[in-house]
Structure 1
């Protein structure tokens, strides 16, 4: 099963179940995975705790052998039913704590934690003052300490914390506060400097689907303030948002963006792009540049590798227990074609990260907006394991 929220007022990830269905069409057109037909169930998680629990219960009742490449902020509601039945959760989006705590969860990336820690490190070289605009939610409450871990690794002071509604449509008040806190307000630098550049002033925003509404307000209100550097993480910002907000003339030109994977035009994505072109060509939900779609592709790559390993052992009727045992004890690390480091989830592979003990991959990529396009700021991956290990919390 693959689930994700669709048609909601907050974050939506329709491309994840759509990518799962395209993946199934592809492998089944080739005879399945070593002859095993892949049947994908999907569920609309609706950004709602009750609906999320219902998706998990449906996975149980329909006999799903795994939940793969899914998105939900309601980790407790989704993981409890899966844990009772021993159904592994492979490669979720990383939107809940339980994905990095549950022994039945096998993440393929470092989730929100690695993105924010990486974004903090990315900003540390450019910013003296940072204001972070984030959702006023339980998940949002973790964001400041994560971003600060990256800033502090670059000997910068903690970011100013600006809470915002997750489903807002006008963020004028939050933009004003962020500019003031970052030191880019004309009252701080003087009217004469309006339209110039505020030295070391940066605003980072991570509001999911509503980040575009924030930057729309930002564009309108920053006209009378010195220019500031802006930043975000992939998932809140993507190429489609850059296009909608004016490209190279928009507010995100020059922005520092942190992602989990290589940039969307990297040749390592070519196999996924071919599957999308051949099996989801008319499905506009499937954007190859979307991190949800990319995560789902990687998660199903993991599932395929597990089934091939079990097939090599002569296992014919593959069960959730077989998958869990292989994930926990398998000898083979999963090669994702360079989209991540090779992945394995044995006890020795877990990183010593406070609050996120299931992380096995804390690599991120630094990207930047140039001429309206997301491009690599530097080659290769950046390992934020040490940054996360040194993270200070308010506990």
Structure 2
């Protein structure tokens, strides 16, 4: 299936989201359970992500949050306030995600920051009821781009797939997309196809795979034979399987010698420099792969402050990889939180205060890692299914001699491509 399963429900959800957002503003934050910071001046937030599951795991995100708190508290805190981090394992299921959100409400956090969960609707409902902002999610669920209490810092999976389609449109006559057989995975083909369509490329062949498989030999063979049948011989296989992308390419490696003309592609979050190094560097199955990311390449100098903080407060913590897109997203999300809290000055830090500042269009910067970010009404996206998307920029990279390198200067805005996908 290449279409979207929930078109009508998305429209209903967006209407409800807008109505809720208006109610929050009109009611001046008088929402049951509205969270406020502790009376001692401590700013308490939560970061969650799946850990120790059979599918996607993102332990680096809560670990980065804790390291950030140690680092910022060692350097004066957030405008003189201590930052306290609570973490939660969403276990990669909707029940776990909802439990994490209810825990955030029960513990009166002022925000959920720099987190990952595929189950947006499960966790956003409790946060919306309590008026707690969700700042800098990973962007893996569509609900993060429709909820009035979500403040994404990147374009999520949607921007990555649309951007990957744009990358491949210039190189591939036929594309095969290998993606998870999940509801979140069902969203991916139309996004990739919107990018491919920019050069009138045909829609990708949609190849579903189990999210937690230990071998993808069957899918690898099917992908290779389909891609190699491209009319002009320029076939591509794009694999977007999260943690299991490496497992897929391990199966792919064993078969690829018989299909040398087939090119490969993926997105950051499914691969990073550490994975490439671990799988053989220049001799890895990723060599030559087209990779779309949200941020500058991992060796870019703009990441120096993050690397310095990690070296200072988390040296030796192997959960935290500075090249990991989840770790990078958490760093950026906490950079946003720091500016928001400092802008409040001596005023109380509460969920309501943060929300009002965000909704009024407070401008925040991230040291050039993203464009300046603003979430006021006037800055909402023109991409119909993604109204909360305020940063639709992606970077085009390729694995060359075992290193991820930029293939073009600057970033590419995929807002128009996403609008077509909608």
Q: Shorter-chain TM-score: what band? A: over 0.9
Q: 2:77, 2:246 → 1: CA distance?
A: 40
Structure 2: state its 5+ residue gaps: 1-45
The DSSP-based 3-state class of the residue aligned with 1:149 is helix
For residues 248-276 of structure 1, what are the alpha-carbon distances to aligned partners after superposition, in whole Å with 9 as ceiling and x for unaligned? Answer: 11221110000000000000000000000
Q: Following superposition of structure 1 onto structure 2, how do residues 127-146 of structure 1 map, counting pairs within 5 Å?
A: 127-146=172-191
Q: Following superposition of structure 1 onto structure 2, how do residues 150-299 of structure 1 map, counting pairs within 5 Å?
A: 150-184=195-229, 199-299=233-333
Q: 1:366, 1:225 → 2: CA distance?
A: 25
Correspondence for 2:159: 114
The DSSP-based 3-state class of the residue aligned with 2:340 is helix
Q: 1:94, 1:168 → 2: CA distance?
A: 23
Relative to structure 2, which stretch is displaced further, 171-180 or 122-131? Answer: 171-180
**Contact 2:179-2:188 at 8 Å conserved across structures:** yes
For residues 174-220 of structure 1, what are the alpha-carbon distances to aligned partners after superposition, in whole Å with 9 as ceiling and x for unaligned? Answer: 11111122135xxx99xxxxxxxx82110000000000110011011
- Structure 1 position 327 matched with structure 2 position 358: yes
- Structure 1 position 302 matched with structure 2 position 340: no
- Of residues 409, 416, 420, the one that matches 1:379 is 409
Correspondence for 2:14: none
Q: TM-score, normalised by structure 1?
A: 0.93
Q: Following superposition of structure 1 onto structure 2, how do residues 21-40 of structure 1 map, counting pairs within 5 Å?
A: 21-40=66-85
**Contact 2:228-2:262 at 8 Å conserved across structures:** no
The DSSP-based 3-state class of the residue aligned with 1:133 is strand
- Structure 1 position 75 matched with structure 2 position 120: yes
State the shift of 1:33 in Å.
1.1
- Of residues 96, 100, 103, the one that matches 2:141 is 96
Q: 1:89, 1:70 → 2: CA distance?
A: 8
Correspondence for 2:371: 341
Correspondence for 2:397: 367
Q: 2:416, 2:117 → 1: CA distance?
A: 27
Q: TM-score, normalised by structure 2?
A: 0.88
- What RMSD, in angstroms, separates the aligned Cα atoms of the two structures? 1.2
The DSSP-based 3-state class of the residue aligned with 1:76 is helix
For residues 123-181 of structure 1, what are the alpha-carbon distances to aligned partners after superposition, in whole Å with 9 as ceiling and x for unaligned? Answer: 11110000000000001001000000000012211110000000111111111111122
Relative to structure 2, which stretch is displaced further, 25-34 or 337-346? Answer: 25-34
For residues 101-126 of structure 1, what are the alpha-carbon distances to aligned partners after superposition, in whole Å with 9 as ceiling and x for unaligned? Answer: 10000000000000000000001111
Correspondence for 1:391: 421
For residues 359-386 of structure 1, what are the alpha-carbon distances to aligned partners after superposition, in whole Å with 9 as ceiling and x for unaligned? Answer: 0000000010010111111111111111
**Contact 2:234-2:261 at 8 Å conserved across structures:** no
Q: 1:126, 1:259 → 2: CA distance?
A: 18
The DSSP-based 3-state class of the residue aligned with 1:390 is helix
Q: 1:18, 1:231 → 2: CA distance?
A: 29
Correspondence for 1:193: none
For residues 317-347 of structure 1, what are the alpha-carbon distances to aligned partners after superposition, in whole Å with 9 as ceiling and x for unaligned? Answer: 21100000000014x4101000000000001
State the shift of 1:357 in Å.
1.3
Provide the aligned length of Structure 1 versus Structure 2: 377
**Contact 2:181-2:210 at 8 Å conserved across structures:** yes
Structure 1: state its 5+ residue gaps: 190-197
State the shift of 1:226 in Å.
3.3
Q: 1:115, 1:318 → 2: CA distance?
A: 34
State the shift of 1:354 in Å.
2.4
Structure 1 residue ranges, 4+ long, deviating more than 3 angstroms after superposition: none
Q: 1:32, 1:245 → 2: CA distance?
A: 39
